Structure 1
Amino acid sequence: MSPDSSSQPPASSGTGFNRRSFLRGLGTTVVAAASAQVNAVAQEVGKAAGPGVQGPGAVPVTLKINGKPVKLTLEPRVTLLEALRNSTANTGAKEVCDRATCGACTVLLDGKPIYACSALAIDCEGSEIITVEGLAKDGKLTPVQQAFVECDAMMCGFCTPGFVLSVTALLKEKPRPTEAEVRHACAGNLCRCGTYPHVLKAALKAGGVKVAENTTTVINYADIA
């Protein structure tokens, strides 16, 4: 009687390669790849935790505000607005929405208007920061400030510093702006008192653009968006 062929071990193919060796090799490859990825992530984390990272405690920060270096000690999470209002005497920038929507905290960073509530103070090192306090020289108002006074472009005054700085930045780029350019430049500044027509007149007057005294043009911000 011949032995049952089903009980015999499978014949070797002679290549030394079978399913078991394939799975063993595959597992080794997966483990090696995973280890390499873990090592790469660990290296990146190590770089992030290197000397360039500051905080969470307070660190020395030097800000150039209105032409003068100001040395402060701030936590990295402190915004430029908080630094200006709480750590210096520059309180012209106002905290209203704290969500980068109203423009009351507007300052100039390297000549460009920004929301100070949405910029970290530590990120502003090395840049020129101009607040409304830095505009007038020796007690003399700038043409923009003077125009705001003459055109009665303020009521409660809470939003006024932001408007003044936005218009100041505009006139540096476009000395004689059009009405549309003024509206666009001030689109990020809101006035709850509704002095927009007077702001428009003041901006044009500061730019030497003739404006009718009885103008009642209303800035419709819905048309700008």
Structure 2
Amino acid sequence: MSVKQTVAKSRAEIFGNIRRGLGRKGNSGEASAEQKQAVQNRLNAQADNLIPQRAQLPHDEQVELFKAMATEAVAELIELDNIALVPQACADWLKTRHIDQLISASSSEINSLDWSPLLNADVDRVERVAQAGDIASLTSSFAGIAETGTLMLHSGPDSPTTLNFLPDNHLVILRRSTIVGVYEEAWKKVRAAFGGTESGLTLPRTVNMITGPSRSADIEQKLQMGAHGPKTLVIFLIND
């Protein structure tokens, strides 16, 4: 038996033991609806940990806290009355910085917009994964967390994670209605959107928490922007 076959056999035995321990039958290891609901019930019954008082606010005050914390984290905040204004806001921001290409997620929210303002500004919008050397990207976000001014984004076929980290400038659409107070509430939103037995959706492979642009002061205690990701984070806050 080859080394590759031996490893495959060992892995199969390990997974088989795990399936038997979980009470699952068959080779697929797929949990039954009852088992999934049992997990959901256990999660719902779990009490929250100690939650900071500063984020336990009415929603309007949570939005104001998010704005203050995001700005303190050196994110650029642009408020818009509705999402239809995003293309013009993108065009204006990119044109003033002489950026002629925008790498974009291909979500239905983004594709439903009229992107003619980019053409008028001589900016090309391309839907693909981000690559080294890309200057600017555009994505939507799943939620905003007021406690620390943090964006929650998740990966998917129409929004690859590379868009969040490779380009120097990351432009993000955030709806006011999706802002929550604390991290616990954001994770509950993820489970409600993707983890329910009736949703037919699976949890995203990657969930990213982004607070301001990337930075580091490891070298001689001098703050360097863009150390591990974008140098600039722009949040288009939609007052929906």
TM, length-normalised to structure 2: 0.20
Q: Where is the strand percentage greater, Structure 1 or Structure 2? A: 2
Larger radius of gyration: 1
